[in-house]
Chain A
Amino acid sequence: MLPLLILVSVISFGLIQVMPGDYLTRARMNPQITQETFSQMMANYGLDKPFYVQYWLWLKQIVTKRDFGTSFETMRPVYWTLFMGDRLMWTIVISSSTMLLTWLISIPLGIYSATHQYKTSDHTLTFFGFLGLSIPNFFFALVVLWLLVAVFKVGNYGLGVGGLFDNRFINAPWSLAKIRNVLWHIWPAWLVIGTSGMAGLLRYMRGSLLDTLSLQYVQTARAKGLSERIVVYKHAVRNAINPLVSMLGMNLPTLVSGSLVTAIVLNLPTVERAFWSALQMQDTYVIMGGLLFFSLFLLLGNLLADILLAWVDPRIRYN
Chain B
Amino acid sequence: MIGLRRKKKLEEGPEYYEYVSLSQGQMIWRAFRKHHLGNIGTAIVLILVVSAVFADFISPYDYKAQYNAYSFSPLSRLHFRSEDGFSLRPFVYKTTRQFDRVTYQPTFLEDTSTKYYIRFFVRGSSYKLLGLLKANIHLFGAYSKDGDQAMLFLLGADGFGRDLFTRTMIGGRISLAVGPLVILIIFPIGIVMGGISGYYGGGVDMFLQRLGEVFMAIPGLPILLVMGAALSGFGLPATIVFLGIIIALSIVSWAGMARIIRGQVLAIRQMDFVAAAQAAGSSDLRTIIRHIIPNVTSYLVVAATLTIPGMMLYEAALSFLGYGIHEPMTSWGQLLNAATNISGIEEHPWLLIPGVFIVIAVLAFNFMGDALRDAVDPFTIV
Residue numbers of A with Cβ under 8 A of B are 4-5, 7-8, 11-12, 15-16, 18-21, 123, 126-127, 130-131, 133-139, 142-143, 145-146, 149-150, 161-162, 207, 252-253, 256-257, 260-261, 264, 275-276, 279, 282, 287, 290-291, 294-295, 297-299
Contact = CB atoms under 8 A, between A and B. Distances in A.
A294 B222 contact: yes
B226 A138 contact: no
Contacts of B321: 138, 261, 264
B355 A142 contact: yes
B225 interface: yes
A253 B219 contact: yes
B220 A253 contact: yes
22 contacts: A8-B218, A19-B230, A130-B370, A131-B363, A136-B358, A136-B362, A138-B336, A139-B316, A139-B336, A139-B355, A139-B358, A145-B345, A146-B342, A146-B346, A146-B352, A150-B345, A252-B219, A257-B317, A276-B225, A282-B229, A295-B217, A297-B219
A20 B342 CA distance: 31
A15 B226 CA distance: 7
Given A127-B37, A264-B321, A294-B219, A162 B313 contact: no
B214 A21 contact: no
Contact of A134 (B210, B233, B320, B362): B362
Contact of A207 (B218, B352, B367, B380): B380
A148 to B, nearest CB: 9
Contacts of B294: none
Contacts of B359: 131, 134-136, 139
A252 B296 CA distance: 29
A45 B345 CA distance: 44
Interface residues of B, number: 42
A132 B222 CA distance: 22
A168 to B, nearest CB: 20
Contact of A150 (B234, B313, B349): B349
B233 A19 contact: yes
A218 to B, nearest CB: 19
A142 B352 contact: yes
Contacts of A145: 342, 345
Interface of B: 37, 210, 213-214, 216-223, 225-227, 229-230, 233-234, 309, 313, 316-317, 320-321, 333, 336, 339, 342, 345-346, 349, 352, 355, 358-359, 362-363, 366-367, 370, 380
Contacts of B223: 11-12, 15, 291
Contact of B230 (A15, A149, A161): A15
